[in-house]
Amino acid sequence: MKRYKSFHMVRMEHLNHHSNLYAGRGIEWMIESAFIAACLEHGNKDGLLYKNTHKFDFIRSVKPGDIVSYESVVVRSGKTSITVHVNLKNADTGELYAEGYVTFVTVDPVTKKSLIHRIMLDDIQDNEEIRWREEADSFFSDK
């Protein structure tokens, strides 16, 4: 699938009491980036609703002044759901700060009832994408 990027500069008002990026702000930006990718794949922003965030994991701290990029890829397509993998990286160095997944459901914009979306995943680009798809599938398997 296509990779979508968005950028933010970490400013003082985005920091926690440890002078690092506040996790809540980082997750807010993650969901926004995932939503943009899902909208562009689905083609209807009014037909998408946030469902869940999965396994968002901060690997290292994000410092003030860092310019960060969020790279989002649709990695799972259910009948009425779309799951997006998101990487949070340093835009200058490419260093990975965090990663996670966000799921949206497709709905009728007026009634908000579930709608089948017909989004098909394309061929896998690399081993990283294989891992993302397998992990995204694991969130939905019956145990």
User: Which residue, among 110, 62, 56, has the nearest Cα to 83 in the 3D structure?
Assistant: 56
Per-residue pLDDT of 15-71, as tens digits, reads 999 999 999 999 999 999 999 999 999 998 999 999 999 999 999 999 999 999 999
How many structural domains compose the chain? 1
- pLDDT for residue 143: 47
141 domain-assigned: no
Three-state secondary structure call for residue 97:
strand
Domain that holds residue 52: 3-136
* Chain length of the chain: 143
Distance CA 25, CA 120 (A): 31
Residue 143 lies in a domain: no
Residue 103 within a domain: yes
Which residues lie below 8 Å from residue 108, measured CB to CB, with a gap of 6+? 47, 115
Any idea what the Cα angle at residue 94 is, between residues 102 and 33, rounded to 5°?
25
Task: Say if 128 falls within a structural domain.
Answer: yes
Given a contact cutoff of 8 angstroms between Cβ atoms, the answer to whether 105 and 94 are in contact is no
Mean per-residue pLDDT of the chain: 94
In a domain, 142, yes or no: no
Residue pLDDT, tens place only, 4-13: 999 999 999 9
Question: Average pLDDT, stretch 101-113?
Answer: 95
**pLDDT for the residue 142:** 60
Question: Is residue 96 in a domain?
Answer: yes
Read off the pLDDT of each residue in 102-122 and give the average, rounded to a whole number. Answer: 93
Task: Evaluate whether residue 57 is within a structural domain.
Answer: yes
Q: Is 3 helix (H, G, I), strand (E, B) or coil?
A: strand
Instruction: Note the pLDDT of residue 124.
Output: 86
Give me the percent of the chain exceeding a pLDDT of 70.
Answer: 99
The bridge status of strand 81-90 relative to strand 67-77 is antiparallel
Give the phi and the psi of residue 46 in degrees, each rounded to 5.
-75, -15
Task: For residue 130, give the CATH number of its domain.
Answer: 3.10.129.10
Q: Confirm whether 29 is domain-assigned.
A: yes
